[in-house]
Copies of this chain bind each other. A is one copy, B any other.
Amino acid sequence: MSTERENEHPASRGGAAFLLAQLGAHAAQRFADRVAELELTPAQAGLLRLLAQAPGHSQRELADMLGMPPSRFVPFADGLQERGLIERRRKPGDRRVHALRLTDEGMELLARLRTVARAHEEDVCQALSPDEHQQLIGLLRRIADQQRLTPGVHVGYRRLR
């Protein structure tokens, strides 16, 4: 074991915060590569997930959740609508709002997306045993809760490609 080497520059690999940023960028890039095979960007995948979890929201609400301005949300949703994955419905009570929901085709793609996500998870965590994998998830969730991060949504969805 090269313990001397490891202690040579204590900060050279960074602490947990640096490793999180480094691994986070790496995991996000690998995920982007994978969902590109479904002709989706990570942001589009995030919206599909969000619509499955919370259908019927207005575009403005969804834009807020994803951390993008409403003006950017419009062409973003356009792309998915043109592909028949989501649909806009006028809300009967207030005809200003367009409530968004998944189409059947969108739900089918979401199922394939979940398969991709499982493969991605296995790929990223292949260095760990099943026990360690669960241990890591536990630690990360504790941090995410304490840092008040919204479950299931992250800022990386702001970039569209």
Contact = CB atoms under 8 A, between A and B. Distances in A.
Copies in the complex: 2
Interface string A91-104: 00000000000000
Contact of A127 (B125, B133, B136, B145): B145
A17 B31 CA distance: 9
Interface in A112-133: 114, 117, 120-121, 123-128, 132-133
A16 interface: yes
Given A137-B16, A140-B19, A26 B149 contact: yes
Interface residues of A, number: 54
A146 B120 contact: no
A147 B128 contact: no
Interface in A20-69: 20-31, 53
A154 B9 contact: no
A125 B124 CA distance: 22
A11 B140 CA distance: 15
Nearest to A126: B146
Contacts of A125: 15-17, 143
A74 interface: no
Nearest to A121: B15
Interface of A: 9, 11-31, 53, 114, 117, 120-121, 123-128, 132-133, 135-137, 139-147, 149, 151-156
